[in-house]
Every structure is written in structure tokens, then in C-alpha cells.
Amino acid sequence: MPEIKHHRWKLLFLAGLVPFILPIVIGLYTMTIESWELFDWIVLYSFVYWPTYLAGLIVIVISLIGIFKK
């Protein structure tokens, strides 16, 4: 049973990484269908959706506490 809980914390950690990976993936896609530069897209995304970075960071911290708590 403790092993299952450990995997839940790892999944939570991966969920916390999503807000940091998503702008890059969407930016690469937008570059292929429109005339955006990746850096411009990431700056715009970060300006508009900065709270997602905070939420992701909070989730990552919580998951790391859960992983390293024995």
C-alpha cells in the first residue's frame, strides 16, 4: 500500500510539470500553423497565464514534500 501512495505523489509531480511544458508544446504547434516565434509565444503565454505557473509550482512543492516524507 505505501508503494501506491508513492506513485500518487509522482503523478502529482508530473501534473505540476504540465504548466511548464504546455507553453512549449502549444508554441511549437502555433509556429507550424501561424507566423509566431517560439520566444514570442512563450512570453505572451507567460504574461496571460502566469497563475498556472504558480499553481504548478505549488503542486510540485506539495508532491516533493509527499515523496520525501517518510
pLDDT bucket at 7, cuts 50 / 70 / 90: confident
Q: Which three cell numbers stand for residue 50?
A: 502566469
Output 66 or 1, whichever has higher pLDDT: 66
Do the beta carbons of residue 9 and residue 59 sit within 8 Å? Answer: no
Q: What percent of the chain has pLDDT over 70?
A: 91
**For residue 2, is pLDDT > 70?**
no
Per-residue pLDDT band at 6 (split at 50, 70, 90): confident
Cell of 17: 510539470
Phi and psi at residue 30, to the nearest 5°? -65, -35
Q: The pTM is what? A: 0.84
